[in-house]
Amino acid sequence: MSLSPEALATLSGVSTATITTVLLKKGLRNIWMRGTKPLRPGQPRLVGPAFTLRFVPAREDLATPESWSSPISTRTAIEAMPKGCIAVVDAMGVTDAGIFGDILCARMVKRGVAALITDGVVRDVEGVLGTNLPVWCDGFAAPPSVAGLTFVGWGEPIGCGGVAVFPNDIVVADQDGAVLIPQALLDHVLAEGSEQERMEAWIVNEVNNGAALPGLYPMNAETKARYAATKK
């Protein structure tokens, strides 16, 4: 799926923290992908549909340098990535084998991929940073992926950081990490996310003006009425 420019603009103004709150109210507690930290501090918030990739534990007959030339390889998967997608990679939380390095990330940039998100790590970190591909991961390591993982496919449901990710689910990533918006709840987040941001900004302003928290956060009836009056 592709996101409309309006949806992209709206979600670009909604933090991952806010999204977790909005979806918590719908009963979703497990949407934040553990281990997804920005590789470069200050990376801007990014939004896009998930393009999923999956690794399994290394098996010596499959996890070899020769496998990089296989039709089922990360190289082939990258050529299938559509412009604007966010590559979400299930690396099983393995942190001693880098799933992607500078060459693969450079190709992703050329293909217009928006970002790479994984619960694993990258390698060739200086080169990866040099590509300017935004990356959220759990660090970096020198060994290649085949030292600890076997790549098995793309375009299927995966688990990343303990979160179930389906192809084309919406991913939002910022300084707090990466969160997932199920396709079926996208319209709800679009409708509620901006209002949640506006309300919390109003609350922060009240706190800065000396207001006490009881009755303000969460709002009691009187506070809700005062806040409602600011929207008229």
Binding site members for substrate: 101-104, 123
State how far the Cα of 98 lies from the Cα of 79, in Å rounded to an integer.
Answer: 20
* Binding-site residue ranges: 101-104, 123-124
> Which residue, 76, 81, 79, 88, is CA-closest to 166?
88
Binding region for Mg(2+): 124
Question: If DSSP codes are grouped into helix, strand and coil, which group holds residue 87?
Answer: strand
Reading phi first (left if > 0) and then psi (alpha if -120 to 50, else beta), residue 91 is in: alpha
Identify the helix (H) or strand (E) that includes residue 231. Answer: none
Cα(129)–Cα(176) distance, rounded to whole angstroms?
19
Output Rg (C-alpha) for the chain, integer angstroms.
Answer: 20
How many other C-beta atoms lie within 10 A of the C-beta of residue 220? 10
